[in-house]
């Protein structure tokens, strides 16, 4: 993926890919409530957690596992940026 893609773009691509969603990444709005719109249960959320750790090379801590941090692409992107900044890595 080109370097100018945003964290949100990469997250949407990862979510579509790992959850085998039948939508294009661009059809996911940043503010969509993922659990409502895509019927995301605990195993699918688990897949998202694993995916974002893999794609962004980050590792989540216990206190970062709270529902509101995973409710939308916008919320997850904020968490990712926080983690990247904490390790001195920039993000789009």
Interface with another protein by CB under 8 A: which residues?
17-18, 20, 41-43, 45-47, 49-50, 53, 60-63, 65-67, 70
Closest CB to another protein among residues 20, 86: 20
Is residue 52 within 8 Å of residue 14, measured between CB atoms? yes
Encoding tokens for residue 62?
A: 């216990």
Closest separation between CB of residue 68 and another protein, Å? 9
**How far does Cα 88 stand from its chain's mean position?**
19
Closest separation between CB of residue 61 and another protein, Å? 8
DSSP 33: -
Establish how many alpha carbons lie within 13 A of residue 9's alpha carbon, considering only the half-sphere containing its beta carbon.
Answer: 8
Closest CB to another protein among residues 4, 41: 41
Closest CB to another protein among residues 23, 92: 23
């Amino acid at each position: 993926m080109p370097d100018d893609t945003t964290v949100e773009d990469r997250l949407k691509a990862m979510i579509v890919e790992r959850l085998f969603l039948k939508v294009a990444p661009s059809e996911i709005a940043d503010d969509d409530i993922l659990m409502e719109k895509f019927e995301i249960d605990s195993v699918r959320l688990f897949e998202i957690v694993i995916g974002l750790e893999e794609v962004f090379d980050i590792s989540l801590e216990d206190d970062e596992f709270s529902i509101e941090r995973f409710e939308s692409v916008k919320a997850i992107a904020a968490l990712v940026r926080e983690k990247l900044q904490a390790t001195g890595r920039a993000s789009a």
